[in-house]
Structure 1
Amino acid sequence: MVHVLNEYTSLVDQVSEESTKCTGLLRITTSVTFGEQVLAPKLPKFMSLYPDIQLDLELNNRKVDLVEESFDLAIRVGSTEVQDFVATQICQFPMVLCATPEYIKQHGQPECVRDLNTHVWLIDKKMPINDWVDDKDIDQWDALFTSAPISVNSPNILKTLVKSGAGVALIPKFLVEEELADGTLIQLMKDAIKQPLSVHVIYPENKYIPEKSRVFINFLKQQYGDNPVEPQTQGNRLLNTLI
């Protein structure tokens, strides 16, 4: 018990010491959906821990140039080609294939990728399907994406369409957890989606990381319960927003 109390006291002292050192403006950019649904609920706690840090959070779904636009950090999902950035993973979210019970009653429940050919497929065009499915099925998934009657660039709109019974869609689970729990939506083909959705914080490779940025990254890791991942240079890969 004494050991636990000593560790707790040490942690409190560390946070207190960091709080006194962490000051200034911290500019962060992330996508609208992630910012509103996942990040925003965590910010009041960060503000209470580090009251001298002023947060400037910009939500948008465009590709942001961190250096030119003077952002300290970006929170991104997915990947695209760019150079000289470092990425630190903070969490992962499952992807789920889902539809309404009424839609499934009318169209039947798919058991494999081939069965989806008879369904109305709704897609978020910024989500590359090859990130989450088996390579052996990729041609069939690609064909579904190509033939989709509706494509959008917002998972929130996709969620609205699915809830209205318009079809089947692949959506980040954090957006539909309540609907899955209360039966508004049904998860389909659970074994078909192999990889979770990874979320990273990025910053320029050669830029000194100020204490305010470091404590924010560590805070996110702790809040989302992900195992700490050491920053790694991504070469010519920079994580880009998908949600």
Structure 2
Amino acid sequence: MERDINLNRLAVFVALVQAGSFTAAAEQLGMTKAMVSQHVARLEQELGVTLLVRSTRRMSLTEAGAAFHADCVRILAETEAAIERVSENRDAPRGTLRLTASLDYGTAVVAPALASYMLTYPQVQVDLVLSDHLSDLIAERFDLAIRGGSLRDSTLRATRLSGFRQLVVASPSYVARAGTPKRPEDLATFAWVAMSALSSPLTWTFTHAKGGRTTVRVRAVAQANNASAVRALVLASAGAAILPDYLVEDDVRAGRLKVLLPTYRLPEGGIHAVYPGQRPPAKVRAFIDHLAASIAAG
């Protein structure tokens, strides 16, 4: 049969046994002697057993009371330890940081930042899951997600880490074959490698540096559901594509890719750290700060 036990009375009972008298326990707990006596009497009533034998001069534990006291001491000690562990997780990064990011951004930016983060916080272990699938953070037990683009789940908290430019790129050999576009409309004749994971991979709106907007629909000869795969196809001269700057800036510097239409801009994307709950643990807060600093140092 289940009993409705007020667990606060356990602490009063343990304090009474430790103090040795109702008067001393009352002083220790900041209660009246009558309140201490009432708590113990109600605890006995809730348990259905006698815990203490009282006389005018002394009190002693019954056999059941002695066994129950030992259990209460253990329970309170474990509770205190659990509270201390939670406080440690709140105040100092420790434990396992489970996070997810897209394949391309996770490889190019998040993984290197995690390596230096682990050197700074050696008490944190890392579980990084790279996927272009939009994970359910709560159901899949992620502490954190690094996401690009627009945010869809309003129940999650988000911190903006940075933005990125979207660039039209092609290999020098493809440009030699297709020519250099002067206006966005010229892209309509280009072979296009599309990012199929986007909601509208073939329609793009460009803004000129001097103002004015132009919307163009391109013709796909190939598509892939991952930006790294699109990049590989473009490097192999399959056609032109729009890719994030963080993925192609090394290729552009090395001359493996060329930026087309440099006087035009596409809408910038945002990179966000997304997490459940109003108060993320220290390991999450520390990594968000660390990643933001790593991106800024760039």
Tell me which interval the TM-score lies in, with the shorter structure as reference length: 0.7 to 0.9
What secondary structure sits across from 1:148 in the alignment? strand
Contact residue 89 and residue 281 of structure 2 kept, 8 A? no
List runs of 5+ in structure 1 lacking aligned partners: 1-16, 227-243
Q: Are positions 1:171 and 2:239 aligned together?
A: no
Identify the residue that residue 160 of structure 1 maps to in structure 2. Answer: 232
Which residue does 1:184 correspond to in 2? 256
Structure 2 residue 291 is the aligned partner of structure 1 residue 214: no
Q: Rg: which structure is higher?
A: 2
* 1:26 counterpart = 2:103: no
Count the aligned residue pairs.
204
Paired letter, 2:213: K
Compute the TM-score of the two structures, normalised by the length of structure 1: 0.76
- 1:1-243 mapped onto 2 (5 Å cutoff): 21-79=92-150, 81-127=152-198, 128=200, 133-134=206-207, 136-138=213-215, 140=216, 143-144=217-218, 147-204=219-276, 206-225=277-296
Q: Note the alpha carbon deviations across 1:182-234, whole angstroms, 9 max, x for none.
A: 22211100122243332100012x442111111111111111118xxxxxxxx
Query: For the residues of structure 2 that align with 1:187 and 1:94, how far apart are their CA atoms?
Result: 12
1:89–1:198 CA contact under 8 A, matched in 2: yes
Distance 1:167 1:92, change over 3 A: same
Identity %: 31
Q: Distance in 2 between matches of 1:167 and 1:90?
A: 31
Amino acid at match of 1:46: Y
Higher normalized contact order (CA 8 Å, seq sep 6+, divided by chain length): 1
Cα distance per residue 1:67-99 (max 9 Å; x no partner): 111111100011253331121111222221111
2: CA distance, partners of 1:194 / 1:116: 14
Name stretches of at least 5 consecutive residues in structure 2 with no aligned partner. Answer: 1-87
Work out the CA distance in 1 between the residues paired with 2:262 and 2:100: 32
- Superposed CA deviations along residues 155-208 of structure 1, whole A, max 9, x for unmatched, are 11111111111111111122222221122211100122243332100012x442
2:265 partner letter: I
CA RMSD of aligned residues (A): 2.5
Q: TM-score, normalised by structure 2?
A: 0.63
